[in-house]
Amino acid sequence: MIVACSTLCFGKYPLERALQTIAELGFSKVDVAIHEAGPHLRPSEVAADVHTTAARLRLGPGLTPCAFTVAIDSPDLAGYAQHLAAVCRLARLSSVPTVTVTAASAGTGLDAEARRLKELTAVAARDGVMLCVATATGTLTETPDAAVELCRRVPGLGLTLDPSHFVSGPNQGATWDAVYPYVRHVHLRDSGCGPNQFQVRIGQGEIEYGRIVSMLARHHYERALTVDIHDIPDAPFAMEPEVRKLKYLLESLV
């Protein structure tokens, strides 16, 4: 396993400065957030010029992308698939194996979402990329059982495990061991079970990093563990020390 850093850890900076900061903290791999409403790259921007976007991500051999996390703003499946296809071409050019998207909102029928994700998985596969859905509160993957069921119904679909949502969301810390066989990427921060505790200082929450790493190893996971502490407005702590602290903690476990 390798320890990577999300560009969302430094969302207050332009992309180039965020990448530079991540490199200065000693990371060799970066998970690039490509969000239409985000602070860095946008899917529409990627679709407009894939090759120019790829050049922006080349900082030399010291830091290379290992994953893309994508939020596409499109009301129809055709438009969504078009932007996803551009991101997956970028992933192929950048040697990125996984692209993470968000599942449909909670309450959506599993059959309909499985049909949608089958189409999107096929789009990603054309560029040799694995599509993953993040485990996220407010979506169909907010509970482990539903996340696993989606993967069973959609061959080739993986999960991006974000345990914060299982700790602070409707799952409320109940076991999520069933998801580990389907995990193909991981996002980590520290979180508690109480109100407004989705993101807390490292060591003050309920995330059991050692057990997570142990369970991933048991299922032969050899990909990235991404530090994904969100650089939210008025954050109660400085980002660099918290990112560095989680980096060192994860590196001590792998």
Angle between helices 239-253 and 209-218 (to 10 degrees): 40
Please state, rounded to an integer, the average pLDDT across all residues of the chain.
92
pLDDT score for 217: 96
Among the ranges given (38-42, 186-190, 194-198, 215-219), the one the predictor scored with the smallest mean pLDDT: 194-198
pLDDT score for 60: 61
pLDDT at residue 58 greater than cutoff 90: no
Name the residue among 207, 205, 225, 213 with its Cα closest to residue 180: 213
User: Average pLDDT, stretch 222-234?
Assistant: 89
Q: What is the pLDDT of residues 181-202, one digit of tens each?
A: 999 999 999 988 877 778 888 9
Name the residue among 191, 169, 184, 174 with its Cα closest to residue 225: 184
pLDDT at residue 251 greater than cutoff 80: yes
Distance, in Å, from the CA atom of 146 to the CA atom of 110, rounded to the nearest integer, reads 8
Helical spans, DSSP H, in 57-169: 77-93, 110-125, 144-153, 163-168
26 pLDDT tier (thresholds 50, 70, 90): very high
User: Average pLDDT, stretch 46-57?
Assistant: 90
Burial of residue 231 (number of CB atoms within 10 Å: 0-12, 13-18, 19+) = middle
pLDDT score for 107: 86
pLDDT at residue 180 greater than cutoff 80: yes
CA dihedral 172, 115, 84, 230 (to 10 degrees): 0
The structural domains of the chain, ordered by start, are: 2-253 (3.20.20.150)
Q: What is the pLDDT of residues 68-109, one digit of tens each?
A: 999 998 888 889 999 999 999 999 999 999 999 999 999 899
pTM: 0.92
pLDDT score for 170: 78
Query: In terms of pLDDT, which residue wins out, 58 or 253?
Result: 253
102 DSSP 8-state letter: P
